[in-house]
Amino acid sequence: MAIKPVSIAFLTTLVCLGSSAFAQQTPTPAPSTPQETRSPQGLPPQTPEQQKAPATQQGTQQGTLQTSPQNIPSGQTHGSVRISLDEAIQKALQNNHTLKAARTTIQQNEALEITANLRPNPTLTVDSQFLPIFQPSQFSADYINTTAQFDVGVSYLFERGKKRQHRLQAAEDATAQTKATVTDNERTLTFNVASQFLTTQLAESSLDLALQDMKSFQNTVDISEERYRAGDISEVDYLKIKLQLLQFQSDVSMAQLAKTQALVGLRQLLGYQTVPEDFDVTGDFDYRPVTMKLEDLQSEALQNRPDYRAAVLGVTAAKSQYELAKANGKVDITGTADYDHVSAVSTASFFGSLQIPIFNRNQGEIARTNYAINQAQELQLAANDQVMSDVLNAYEGVRENDRIIVLYRGGYLDASQKTRDITEYSYKRGAASLLDFLDAERSYRATQLAYRQSLAAYLTAVEQLREAVGTRSLQ
């Protein structure tokens, strides 16, 4: 087939820009013989030993785009340690530093319980009066016994209104609410780990697809090269096939990068030092239908969601604070017992004192805590609405993504596979055009990749539903 010099130069430029590799004149079509394979124009024919040489050496000699299978990964490598989703969640719950920091708030509240349950300390008072500091000559045993005065007293604050019991109850209720809040942090972390785990699985599945496609297309390139050498296809078609391989190589590189970044993000959630650098994930990346009804999921969510439980406990804690405020409005009594020695006589004195509650009866704090109860009740209702909305949104997300998955699995995946296989078979035997083959190949890749992304979206929606319900089990 005759080709204009301008077309040859233009196509050669495309090869240089597309591959960033070698660019020279391409071989002139000629029939191959069993003894030797024709080399590019202007070079001597290759011997059988040269044909067996590594592709990199041949590329240096020939100055052509390298498409040998030796330059194509046959499959992705996996780390020495592979963890499942359940193992990843367990590691995160044990080692995530943000969660461990949140758990210390429980210990802080438990320490506040100790403080709240403490009784007031007694007060010891000691005094000495009428000592002749400025007349040292007056110091004598008789003067100390008959003239100087000494007092030793102990006073104690008697709390009324069961203040200590109310303080302890309020602190315990605050601790219970804090525990529920930390449990909600665990729920959020579990979802984040599961979501990142699915992102890693999607990247791994996309990488497998890219490697398979590149390996399959490399076979097509090899066959096209043989057809080109035999004169069955034109130089333009052969160069188009070669240039198309660049897209497959780019897909592999991008998929490898996506998987590496996904593993880094997952490692951060698990605790950077808890897994080795070359760890990997394992587990099924497949469709699993959800069969529970919406009403059952919402009912279970109200029982399991820790944030809703924290809102309920917030009402209890607010009521405890109100009772404590009322107890603090009770007047306490301070009792004192003194030992006195004066004028050679030892005596005892007893005192009692209390504030007269004319102005301050803790009215402001009692009113504030009463309003706080109303606030906590409204927050509980808001949390109830939030739970119901979260479950409904997550449930609808699962349903919509489920419909998409069913469409793919109902025939579209098989159709794209068969179309690609039939067109490839026809093209390799000269019964289909190059454009038909490349279009079928692109359609197959796009369908397979879209299915994997839809599957990841479905599984992520299922994880959102688990987070919304507050349990991993949806059966």
* Higher pLDDT, residue 314 or 75: 314
pLDDT band at 215 (very low <50, low <70, confident <90, very high): confident
Asked if residue 3 has pLDDT above 80, the reply is no
Q: Which 8-state DSSP code applies to residue 22?
A: -
Q: Record the tokens describing residue 2, joined without a space.
A: 């005759």
pTM over 0.85: no
- Among 17-31, 157-171, 176-190, 368-382, where is mean pLDDT lowest? 17-31
Q: In whole angstroms, what is the distance from residue 214 CA to residue 73 CA?
A: 9
Mapped onto helix, strand or coil, the DSSP state of residue 100 is helix
Helix pair angle (434-469, 163-229), 10° resolution: 170
- Specify the 3-state DSSP secondary structure of 334: strand
Amino acid symbol at 467: E
Q: What is the pLDDT of residues 201-211, one digit of tens each?
A: 999 999 999 99
Could you give the C-alpha distances from 113 to 118, 120, 167, in angstroms and in order? 9, 15, 8
Considering only residues 168 and 18, tell me which one the structure prediction assigns the higher pLDDT. Answer: 168
Q: Would you say residue 431 has pLDDT above 90?
A: no
The angle, 0 to 180 degrees and rounded to 10, between the axes of the packed helices 97-116 and 85-95 is: 50
Q: What angle do CA 393, 395, 400 make, to 5 degrees?
A: 95
Q: What is the mean pLDDT of residues 336-351?
A: 93
The closest alpha carbon to 41, from 62, 20, 22, belongs to 62
SS3 state at 291:
coil
Summarize pLDDT for 254-291 with one digit per residue, the tens: 999 999 999 999 999 999 888 998 899 999 999 989 88
280 φ, ψ (degrees, to nearest 5):
-145, 175
The answer to whether the beta carbons of residues 459 and 405 sit under 8 Å apart is no
Q: What is the pLDDT of residues 54-108, one digit of tens each?
A: 333 333 333 333 333 334 444 566 667 899 999 999 999 999 999 999 999 999 9
Q: Is 245 within 8 Å of 220 (Cβ atoms)? A: no
Q: Which whole-number Å values give the CA distances from 118 to 95, 155, 164, 168, in the listed order? A: 35, 17, 7, 9
Sign of torsion over alpha carbons 170, 171, 175, 181: positive
Q: Coil, strand or helix: which one is 37? A: strand
User: To the nearest whole number, what is the mean pLDDT of the chain?
Assistant: 83
- Please check whether residue 444 is in contact with residue 452, taking contact to mean a CB–CB distance below 8 angstroms: no
Give residue 278's pLDDT.
87
Residue-wise pLDDT tens digits, 363-379: 999 999 999 999 999 99
The answer to whether residue 11 scores a pLDDT higher than 70 is no
Among residues of the chain, what percentage have pLDDT more than 70?
Answer: 83
Residue pLDDT, tens place only, 230-239:
887 788 888 8
Alpha carbon distance 245, 260 (integer Å): 23
Phi first, then psi: what are they for 37, rounded to 5°? Answer: -110, 130
